[in-house]
Amino acid sequence: MNVSQRRYGDKLFDIGLYCLMVIAGIVTLYPFLNVLAISFNNSVDTVRGGITIFPREFTLDNYATIFAFDGLLTGFKNSVLRTVIGTIVGVLSASMMAYTLSRRDFQARKWMSVLFAMTMYFSGGLIPGYMLMRHLGLIGTFEVYIIPAILSVWNVFVVRSYIDNLPIALQESAKIDGANDWTIFWRIILPLCQPVLATIALFVAVGHWNAWFDTYLFNNMKAENTTLQYELMKVLQSTQSGNNYRDPNAQQAIASVSPESIKMAITIVVTVPILLVYPFLQRYFVKGMTLGAVKS
Amino acid sequence: MKTMPSTEHGRSSAVNKRKRFLGRMIEHRYLYLMSLPFVAWIIVFSYVPIWGWLMAFQNYKPRFSILNQKWVGLDNFIELFTDERFYLVLRNTLGMSIMGLIVSFTVPIIFALFINEIKNQFFKRSIQTISYLPHFVSWVVVSGMVYKMLSTDGGAVNQLLMALHIIDAPIQFMAKGEWFWGIVTASDAWKETGWNSIIFLAAMAGIDQEQYEAATVDGAGRFRKMWHITLPGIRTTFMVLFILSIGHLISIGFEKQFLLGNPLVSNYSEVLELYALNYGINLSRYSYGTAIGIFNSVVSIILVFAANYIYKRITKESVI
């Protein structure tokens, strides 16, 4: 075994490796590019098939059609609203709770930690949860998207382990300068936690943006509380099982644009906002994921 | 008489203790302010529903309060365990979760091993960014794409297989029950491989570089280094994650099955939670649906503790 042989083997390995990774990249991206191409392609032409990653007859008609749906605009508004409100609430509540649980001198720390940690191992289940929402009068409201999701215990523990790693001296010196716990939280803890807060903000926002089941379960009869994902799910399910989309609004549109093109255009509308955000937060969430997994 | 001073002392120290306790409470008033609302919230949203478990032992009718129901003992459970459909559903749940468990560890580890070998930083980062993308997309979108890719008229998978002459006619993937578990597992792998590899890559980054240098001097090739240094280096991470996921074997959720399934494949796609949803909410059999949920929770808790016990035996540490 000499050096040139080793070099040769190494080169071969690298070529194989790069090919494999490029294939993996194509397999990941192709469905997105395919959907994108079809969403911009003339819907009559699409039926002929054979669209890969470039549109054959470019058009914006599909998008014009879907944005004429009432349901889609309402859904878009609600999805944006729940994502914005839900993320602000989720990040603030998780960091407040995490800060109190990180304070070793806090007298209620122990039982509160246990109370929160326990919930990671059991849940009441679907039906009791549904009944609870009924009793609280949350069914058919917009609040059902926010209130049951105020806090994620997982996020609390992720933020707490981050705070635990901050130098305690900062808090102590602030205390000597006369700051109370409230000011310490807002002025010292929150700014220092920025990286981990960016991570959980991304998780919470994506969770809200992608949620559809709560709309299905609690708001399926309330058109004004619909969400984008639920609208997409309705279109997908109705055409997949072969039924026509029963919404008269939609049926009219289908006369001019095929359901296939509608599905693809909505899919892009739903996906693009995520695409615009996550690459910029990659540095943070990679770190956040690792931290969460190591500490728990 | 002799005991008097000591009780006196005891009382005063109790008073002192209470005073000190109240004093600390006032001192920590902001901490209470920041935590008690969430304590109340978690009690309402995570603990109160446990009360709902009583429904499983009743013939629950929503018009009456939970305390004014007809009690039926274990009838709902007996019905559940004698229902043939239940065993079918249990088989589907375990089948898909075991397949998912195997694939969600092996594929990301292999992927991480390869990523770890890429030397060009730009290429490495690009592939990683691309691989995280599907994780952030909803199952609704993914199910739409899966239907599209597997469709019989012009679906990419069928086209590719035909071009390679592996099949002569398109396969109706979504209409055949026996394909369903595989499709769910493969879609999950497509969606989560990049994401699940993050943690393994982090573990690999923590391996001492000197080991690789020493191995190179000893004449080890790339594969041997991967096998003898990288893989043993992530063993602890792997063990912790694997044991944690065993605890979740039965609670695999239902999103994928709900969205990818259709009436043609329901014998393979129905899982426990969908079964609970169909009976409990769509058919308004709340008590029966709750019984299914309880079965699910109890098995989960047993699995978590069993997994933790095994882990403790192996490493003398507790995950929980």
Three-state secondary structure readout of A114-172: HHHHHCCCCCCCHHHHHHHHHHCCCCCCCHHHCHHHCCCHHHHHHHHHHHHCCCHHHHH
Q: Are residues A237 and A195 in the same domain?
A: yes
> Which residues, numbered 63 to 92 in chain A, qualify as contacts with chain B under a Cβ-Cβ cut-off of 8 Å?
none
Do residues A136 and A249 both lie within one domain? yes
Most B CBs within 10 Å, among A126, A150, A181, A278, to test the B interface: A126
- Measure CB to CB from residue B290 to each of A13, A101, A125 and give the nearest one: A125
Q: What is the pLDDT of residue A246?
A: 42
Q: Is B134 on the interface with A (CB under 8 A)?
A: yes
Q: Which residue of B has its CA nearest to A11?
A: B222
- Taking only the tens place, the pLDDT of each residue in A52-85 is 888 888 888 888 888 888 888 899 999 999 999 9
Report chain B residues whose CB lies below 8 A from the CB of A212.
138, 140
Nearest chain B alpha carbon to A265:
B141
Q: B264, B175 in Cβ contact below 8 A?
A: yes
Distance in angstroms (rounded) separating the CA atoms of residues B3 and B7: 6
Cβ contact A17–B41 (<8 Å):
no
Q: Decide if B300 and A121 are in contact by the 8 Å CB cutoff.
A: yes
Looking at residue A268, its pLDDT comes to 93
Asked if B126's CB is within 8 angstroms of A25's CB, the reply is: yes
Q: Point out the residues of chain A with pLDDT beneath 50.
A: 241-255, 295-296
Could you tell me the residue range of the domain that residue A21 belongs to? 1-59
Helix or strand or coil: residue B59? strand
**Residue B71 in 3-state DSSP?**
strand
Closest by Cα among A216, A214, A195, A224 to A292? A195
Contact B195, B135 (CB under 8 A): yes
The partner residue sitting opposite A115, judged by closest CB among B25, B42, B50, is B42
pLDDT above 90 covers a percentage of chain A that reads 43
- Residue carrying the six token digits 């058009």: A59
Residues A250, A168 share a domain: yes
For residues A22 and A117, state if they share a domain. Answer: no
CATH code assigned at A91: 1.10.3720.10
Sign of CA dihedral A60, A61, A62, A63: positive
- Domain boundary, last residue among A59, A74, A107: A59
Looking at chain B, which residue has its C-alpha nearest residue A260?
A: B148
Q: Do B49 and A124 touch (CB under 8 A)?
A: yes
Number of domains in chain A: 2
Place of tokens 């992927």: B111
For residues A152 and A280, state if they share a domain. yes
Clarify whether residues A49 and A65 are in a common domain. Answer: no
Q: How many CB atoms lie within 10 A of CB B193?
A: 24
Return the residue matching tokens 């609704």: B140
CB A284 within 8 A of CB A198: yes
Residues A42 and A119 in one domain: no
CA distances from B188 to A25, A63, B173 (A): 16, 29, 16
Local structure of A58: helix, strand or coil = strand
Interface of A with B in 208-227 (CB under 8 A): 209-213, 217
How far is Cα A90 from Cα A93, in angstroms, rounded to an integer? 5
Q: Are residues A119 and A201 in the same domain?
A: yes
The predicted-structure confidence for A76-120, as pLDDT tens digits, reads as follows 999 999 999 999 999 999 999 999 999 988 888 999 999 998 888
Same structural domain for residues A8 and A65? no
* Pairing relationship of beta strands B70-71 and B58-59 according to DSSP bridges: antiparallel
Q: Cβ A286–B198 below 8 Å, yes or no?
A: yes
- Tell me whether residues A181 and B28 touch, CB distance under 8 A: yes
Q: pTM score, two decimals?
A: 0.87
Measured between beta carbons, the chain B residues lying within 8 angstroms of A24 are 111, 127, 131
Confidence (pLDDT) at B72: 86
Residue ranges of chain B with per-residue pLDDT less than 70: 1-12, 317-320
A58/A39 Cα distance (integer angstroms): 9
Indicate if A135 and A226 belong to the same structural domain.
yes
Tell me whether A30 touches chain B (CB under 8 Å): yes
Residue carrying structure tokens 């996550």 = A278
CA distance A187 to chain B (A): 14
A window 99-138, beta carbon within 8 A of B? 99-101, 103, 106-108, 112, 115-116, 119, 121-132, 134, 136
Residues A213 and A275 in one domain: yes
The domains of chain B are located at 4-73, 79-315
Chain A contact probe: residue of B20, B65, B140 with most A CBs at under 10 A: B140
Q: Which residues pair with B70 in a beta bridge?
A: B59
With beta carbons less than 8 A apart as the criterion, state whether A47 and A62 touch.
Answer: no
| C-alpha–C-alpha distance, residues A207 and A216, integer Å | 15
Residue A18 touches chain B, beta carbons under 8 Å: yes
How far does B81 lie from chain A, in Å, by closest CA? Answer: 18
CA distance B219 to B283: 67
Could you tell me which CATH number the domain at B79-315 has? Answer: 1.10.3720.10
d(CA A163, CA A101): 10
Question: What integer pLDDT is reported at residue B4 of this predicted model?
Answer: 46
What is the pLDDT at residue B319? Answer: 61
